[in-house]
Amino acid sequence: MLEEIIIAGFGGQGVMSMGQLIAYAGMLEGKGVSWLPSYGPEQRGGTANCAVVVSDEPVGSPLVTRPSSAIVLNNPSFDKFEPLIRPGGILILNSSLVVRASNRKDIKIMEISATDMANDLGNSRVANMILLGAFLEHTKIVLADSVIESLKKVLSANKHHLIEINKQALQKGASLVEVSIS
């Protein structure tokens, strides 16, 4: 198994956190992983993306030029990364914020109104976790339980109260998989 992932959006949307959680979860499961962040000139509000590789073998390079998967949270990221997904790959996008549509017929596309759903859960900041839950359910590259365990290590102790809402968001995203793939 080899999954090469691009996660992209604006700074502050949890792009880097999603990548880190996938990488940490992969490490917990004994997989080969890499995580390579890329920031625009501004941190919050500027563009940000990360490349994550998860494999059953050691990872030879952290660079991802033709991702098998992309999770996209804004229009500029859609424009940049949608054409790069290799045939047979998957594009997961936050349709609450991405207003463009893909015309590609050679990839699977999941349009999830993650920001709206996160607001329904009571915390707009977990939109990224809804997208991550859908991604994990579709790809099965790491277990959601490993991501939750990683959250316990990544979040400082005074933020552990957020683990439950993040867990709910992952479950919400996972529940969307069968009905969302086009």
Report pLDDT digits (tens) over 123-162: 999 999 999 999 999 999 999 999 999 999 888 899 899 9
Q: At what angle do helices 127-139 and 144-154 cross, to 10 degrees?
A: 140
CB 68, CB 3: distance < 8 Å = yes
H helices of the chain, in order, are 15-28, 75-81, 114-121, 127-139, 144-154, 163-175, 177-180
| pLDDT score of 180 | 47
The encoded tokens of residue 60 equal 């030879």
Instruction: List, in order of start, the domains of the chain with CATH numbers.
Output: 2-180 (3.40.920.10)
Q: What is the pLDDT of residues 65-83, one digit of tens each?
A: 999 999 999 999 999 999 9
H helices of 74-126, in order, are 75-81, 114-121
Q: How far apart are CA 40 and CA 78, in angstroms?
A: 15
Least confident of 39-43, 96-100, 121-125: 39-43
CA 117 to each of CA 121, 127, 166: distance values in angstroms, whole numbers, following the listed order: 6, 7, 13
Model pTM score: 0.93
